[in-house]
Amino acid sequence: MARCQEEKDPDDGFGNESERVRMCDEQQKEEWKHKDSSRDSTDPSADCEGGFGSIIPTGEKTAVQKGERFERQKRNCSFFPTLEQPGRLNGVRDFKRADVWETFTTDSNFIEHHISGLRTEVHDCQGMHKTNPSGYCEKPFQCSECDKCFASKANLETHHMTHTGEKPFQCSECEKWFSTRTWLKNHIRIHTGEKPFQCSECDKSFTCKSHLKRHGTTHTGEKPFQCSECEKWFSTKAELKLHERTHTGENPFQCSECEKWFSTRTWLKNHIRIHTGEKPFQCSECDKSFTCKSHLKRHGTTHTGEKPFQCSECEKWFSTRTWLKNHIRIHTGEKPFQCSECDKSFTCKSHLKRHGTTHTGEKPFQCSECEKWFSTKAELKLHERTHTGENPFQCSECEKWFSTRTWLKNHIRIHTGEKPFQCSECDKSFTCKSHLKQHGRTHTGEKPFQCSECDKSFTCKSHLKQHGRTHTGEKPFQCSECEKSFTCKSHLKQHGRTHTGEKPFKCSECNQSFSVKRSLKQHKRIHTGEKPFQCSECDKQFRTKGERIHTGEKPFKCSECDKCFTSKANLETHHMTHTGEKPFKCSECNQSFSVKRSLKQHKRIHTGEKPFQCSECDKQFRTKGEVKLHEMTHTGEKPFQCSECDKQFRTKGEVKLHEKTHTGEKPFQCSECDKWFRTKCEVKNHERIHTGEKPFQCSECDKWFRTKHDVKSHERIHTGEKPFQCSECDKWFRTKREVKNHERIHTGEKPFQCSECDKCFQTKAVLQGHKRTHTGEKPFQCSECDQLFSSKGTLKRHEKIHTGEKPFQCSECDKWFRTKHEVKNHERIHTGEKPFQCSECGKWFRTKGEVKNHESTHAGEKPFQCSECDQLFSSKGTLKRHEMIHTGEKPFQCSECGKWFRTKGEDTRQRDEHVQSSSPGVVKGDGTDRAPPPGVVKEMEQTEHVQSSSPWCGQGDGMM
């Protein structure tokens, strides 16, 4: 259609050749009539050839007329290629009779004279402006506007209409105007549908003869016009001239709206319709309208499915020759269109034009809904489908819908398994070319898309766009179930599976299922042992990417408390501490967790599963973190160092907790008693003192404990396990705290000082118990006799009086004792060990209480006074026994006769008397049956309290 309109237009330089030849012929006839005044013939043929009838007989005249017309048309082929008739350079076919030929040759001088004049005049009609040497014919009619010359006044007047814009001939159907009657006649045939000129080869019909002639070249393949620059051939001179403008860059036609230039008037006309919105060509199938006929024709193939052009290389079919031509360049590798800015080359001009917008930033197409701008109309159309929700392309396999045919094509390859695009570096294959291109950047390291906010670079534009939303806070994708919003559609899709429980990705090794493909890929590396990511700092290899440990980078910041995190997942988990959200619930005990990983680890408590094994001692653990932490006990590795005192720790949590001893920070407060604690774990365990909650049970004796650490330490009593060794004396202990407190005996360290009397203690628990001697506080009450105690350990030992429990046995004499400290002091009777020495007289004693009571005899010190009679005593135990005289209390009962006694020693002596009366030959002279002095009992109670109390996380209960 575009080409047809160009030929109809008088100013595009590519006019209707047959019409112009006819006009030249008519002009020539008029001129000859005036030149030969003696000619009176009214015969139209004589008028057409003017002047030959008076010289040549009728038979010869007819032949000469034909010869002249042929000769004129033959010479005109240099400007009117559609009139060219190769092979007719001699007159054999036109002058068949010998007598005519002789007559023609006899008068050849006269004929040649007129033919020479005719040649000059025809060339004048062509605008070549050649002058005959004899001056017979010139171009006397010159245009006053552009200085072009014409052989006739009629031609000049027709040309002048291009300047004036005059179009005197109007169509009665559509009211369009034309400059010549011929063009009006051809136009009317569009309305009538008349196509009188039919091709003898394919029966196609055309509205004008020139179109038929041009069509004929598609059958003959004739292309007589060659470009002088690139030697390409064309079927018409108009095509050649249009092609030559690609070399010269000539664009003579300018748009009055946007001042763009075009090489043909038709293209300008089609372009103007973009501004006017005119779409005169409508599809009869779907009522879509188009700006030019060629677009309508191309659109029609989507209904008919017609693809007449086939590639000779891969046999693919195309609906237009242009698309076939562009496709062939994929095989040849030809990229003739080069960008002047960055030297990139492209297979077609439209790709180059679209690429050029990346340099200019031009985005002329705007969305009417959200006012976003796009560089191409196709991008705008695709974007508009996000508003309309239109997905016109459906998959025949799974019935999913897609907004573009390309996405449907790529999706179908998921079903077929086809991956036609292969990486030349690692032989990986991909379903679409864009994925291959993006993958190739992993080899080259290229990241062409940079964030304008933080200068980070990305391999693809979509990743940059998604990253940009971290700065803007935009989350355009919202979940319909819980109204959470996400930065990209894939995250929303993954989140949706938490509601549906869908896990479409299954491991072929262990049948474990995952909700996202990335998790499955990472999981498979557990089976293969693959660790493709190597740290550039320490050369360690990992299954997943990330090196922020060395850089210290924490790009994800909490909006509530300004804490920063190395990953977005950690930030989201942290955010739940502010919201209190715990979406993952245990089906066994209804306990809730903020992350799914914690729920999974928790479930192993119910199942007893311990899938992680230590490579050194074959112990098994529930989590990988536990086994890694345990293995450090073998390697001695402590990678985390305190910045204040240079102490080293196994975990970051330990060093962070330790640093709070320097800063004194205690950010967590108890809601009951307003005490402050360093960690959330400590305050949680402390609050169980108020609630009485003991959620952890011993599997051996069914005792319950407040903390997991307590039950674990208690279970070692049953197993006899003592994994912690003193570095000085090689003694072994059940807990790390016990060995730490024990080592202070060797070092003499007493880091905890009383603020009242400046006394120092080895443990915080002992200091805490000591402070109660100043305050008189006794917060622990016996449920049997309502007696109050200053420490829980003392209360616990007291309760064994009521229960009669004596779990500790002497290895020598099989006697049983209530506390481990009692049996230890008792065993020194058998060994004769006396480790405690008086600093005044050098005497040695079995217990610390004995030496303390003894030293008070040297000092004469009696700090304990009776509130009833003001009597003074050197020890608290002696004062306590004295107070029983006033109260009448006798808490110890003889199991033989039922008598009650004030002290345990009286009770023991009474039992010994019963033994002696029943066995007269037995003499107890070694004193082993006697109870320790009251001061020793008190010292034992205080020491046992030290060992049973916890300085961290409330882990002192259950240590006995």
d(CA 107, CA 113): 10
Which of 137, 164, 191 is the last residue before a domain boundary? Answer: 164
d(CA 247, CA 229): 8
Check residue 60 and give its pLDDT: 40
- Is there a single domain that holds both residue 691 and residue 762? no
Percent of the chain scored above 90 by pLDDT? 10
Check: CB of residue 192 under 8 Å from CB of residue 26: no
Residues 6+ apart with CB under 8 A from 360: none
| Whole-number Cα distances in Å, 123 to 36, 75, 167, 319, 761 | 22, 9, 27, 42, 124
Check residue 574 and give its pLDDT: 87
- Residue 205 maps to a domain: no
Cα 193 → chain centroid? 58
Express each pLDDT in 872-883 by its tens digit.
Answer: 888 787 888 888
Nearest residue to 636 via CA among 647, 622, 616, 650: 650
Arithmetic mean of pLDDT, 302-328 = 89
Query: DSSP label at 82?
Result: G
- Is there a single domain that holds both residue 820 and residue 938? yes
Task: Quickly count: other Cβ atoms within 10 Å of residue 302's Cβ.
Answer: 13
The residue type at 234: F
- Is there a single domain that holds both residue 524 and residue 568? no
Check residue 866 and give its pLDDT: 92
Instruction: Find tokens 């169980």 and name the residue.
Output: 688
Check residue 133 and give its pLDDT: 47
Express each pLDDT in 416-471 by its tens digit.
Answer: 989 999 999 898 899 988 889 889 988 998 998 899 889 889 888 888 888 988 89
37 vs 711 pLDDT, higher one: 711
- Is there a single domain that holds both residue 91 and residue 131? yes
Nearest residue to 192 via CA among 210, 176, 212, 172: 172
d(CA 350, CA 14): 25
Strand pairing partners for 238? none
- Residue 733 maps to a domain: no
Q: Is 150 helix (H, G, I), strand (E, B) or coil?
A: strand
- Is there a single domain that holds both residue 527 and residue 578? no
Q: Is 762 helix (H, G, I), strand (E, B) or coil?
A: coil
Arithmetic mean of pLDDT, 182-186 = 88
Arithmetic mean of pLDDT, 586-590 = 89
Query: DSSP label at 81?
Result: G
Cα of first residue to Cα of last residue in the chain, in angstroms, is 101
Check: CB of residue 790 under 8 Å from CB of residue 770: no
**pLDDT higher than threshold 60 for residue 205:** yes
Q: Where are the alpha helices (DSSP H) in 636-673?
A: 652-663
- Print the SS3 string covering 667-690: CEECCCCCCEECCHHHHHHHHHHH
Strand pairing partners for 350? none
Beta strands in 599-746 (DSSP E): 612-613, 620-621, 640-641, 648-649, 668-669, 676-677, 696-697, 704-705, 724-725, 732-733
Nearest residue to 715 via CA among 729, 727, 700, 737: 700
32 vs 745 pLDDT, higher one: 745
**pLDDT higher than threshold 90 for residue 255:** yes
- Residue 293 maps to a domain: no
Check: CB of residue 665 under 8 Å from CB of residue 678: yes
Arithmetic mean of pLDDT, 776-796 = 87
Nearest residue to 778 via CA among 668, 666, 880, 694: 880
| The pair of three-digit structure tokens given for residue 511, joined into one six-digit string | 């049948």
**pLDDT higher than threshold 80 for residue 17:** no
Check: CB of residue 769 under 8 Å from CB of residue 945: yes
Check residue 766 and give its pLDDT: 86
Check residue 577 and give its pLDDT: 85
- Residue 647 maps to a domain: yes
**pLDDT higher than threshold 60 for residue 5:** no
Check residue 608 and give its pLDDT: 86
**pLDDT higher than threshold 70 for residue 300:** yes
**pLDDT higher than threshold 60 for residue 694:** yes
Give the pLDDT band (50/70/90) at residue 180: confident
**pLDDT higher than threshold 60 for residue 576:** yes
Check: CB of residue 286 under 8 Å from CB of residue 276: no
Query: For the chain, how many helices (H) and strands (E)?
Result: 35, 56
- Torsion, Cα 711 717 721 722, to 10 degrees, reads 90
Check residue 841 and give its pLDDT: 92
Express each pLDDT in 344-366 by its tens digit.
Answer: 899 988 888 888 888 988 888 89
Check: CB of residue 798 under 8 Å from CB of residue 953: no
Query: What's the structural domain count of the chain?
Result: 4
**pLDDT higher than threshold 50 for residue 97:** no
Give the pLDDT band (50/70/90) at residue 10: very low
Indicate the average pLDDT of the chain. 78
Strand pairing partners for 163? none
Task: Quickly count: other Cβ atoms within 10 Å of residue 154's Cβ.
Answer: 15
Check residue 918 and give its pLDDT: 63
Flag the least confident range among 178-192, 443-457, 547-561, 903-917.
903-917
Residues 6+ apart with CB under 8 A from 12: 6, 253, 264, 265, 266
Give the pLDDT band (50/70/90) at residue 88: very low
Check residue 547 and give its pLDDT: 59
- Is there a single domain that holds both residue 515 and residue 647? no
Check residue 198 and give its pLDDT: 92
Check residue 416 and give its pLDDT: 92
- Is there a single domain that holds both residue 490 and residue 561? no
Express each pLDDT in 128-155 by its tens digit.
Answer: 444 444 444 478 889 988 888 988 888 8
Q: What per-residue string of b and e applies to 269-283 under the rule 16 or more CB within 10 Å gives b?
A: bbbbebeeeeeebeb
- Is there a single domain that holds both residue 538 and residue 557? no
291 vs 944 pLDDT, higher one: 291
Nearest residue to 683 via CA among 705, 706, 703: 706
Arithmetic mean of pLDDT, 204-215 = 88
Residues in the chain: 960
Express each pLDDT in 665-676 by its tens digit.
Answer: 888 889 889 888
Give the pLDDT band (50/70/90) at residue 948: very low
- Is there a single domain that holds both residue 867 and residue 909? yes
- Is there a single domain that holds both residue 129 and residue 159? yes
Which domain, by its residues, includes 83?
A: 9-164
Check residue 423 and give its pLDDT: 93
Q: What per-residue string of b and e applies to 371-380 under the rule 16 or more CB within 10 Å gives b?
A: eeebbeeebb
Arithmetic mean of pLDDT, 162-175 = 88
| The pair of three-digit structure tokens given for residue 893, joined into one six-digit string | 């009962």
- Residue 827 maps to a domain: yes
Which of 135, 164, 193 is the last residue before a domain boundary? Answer: 164
Instruction: Find tokens 């819980």 and name the residue.
Output: 482
Arithmetic mean of pLDDT, 936-949 = 40
Which of 706, 733, 762 is the last residue before a domain boundary? Answer: 706
Strand pairing partners for 761? 752
Express each pLDDT in 210-232 by its tens digit.
Answer: 888 888 888 988 888 999 989 88
d(CA 846, CA 826): 9
Residues 6+ apart with CB under 8 A from 629: 650, 651
Instruction: Find tokens 């429980």 and name the residue.
Output: 501
Express each pLDDT in 491-528 by its tens digit.
Answer: 888 888 889 988 888 899 898 888 888 888 888 888 88
CATH number of residue 485's parent domain? 3.30.160.60
Check residue 136 and give its pLDDT: 47
d(CA 942, CA 767): 11
Give the pLDDT band (50/70/90) at residue 395: very high
The residue type at 125: C
Give the pLDDT band (50/70/90) at residue 171: very high
Q: Where are the alpha helices (DSSP H) in 748-811?
A: 764-775, 792-803
| Whole-number Cα distances in Å, 777 to 14, 154, 770, 797 | 113, 128, 10, 18
- Residue 246 maps to a domain: no
**What is the DSSP track for 243-285?**
HHHHHH----EE-TTT--EESSHHHHHHHHHHHH----EE-TT
d(CA 9, CA 12): 6
- Is there a single domain that holds both residue 807 and residue 922? yes
Nearest residue to 494 via CA among 29, 484, 790: 484
- Residue 354 maps to a domain: no
Give the pLDDT band (50/70/90) at residue 65: very low
0.85 surpassed by pTM:
no
Check residue 276 and give its pLDDT: 92
- Is there a single domain that holds both residue 413 and residue 458? yes
Give the pLDDT band (50/70/90) at residue 254: very high
- Residue 384 maps to a domain: no
HSE of 723, CA atoms in CB hemisphere, 13 A: 13
Question: Residue 904: is it exposed, middle or buried by C-beta count within 10 angstroms (0-12/13-18/19+)?
Answer: middle
Residues 6+ apart with CB under 8 A from 59: 97, 99, 100
Check residue 53 and give its pLDDT: 34
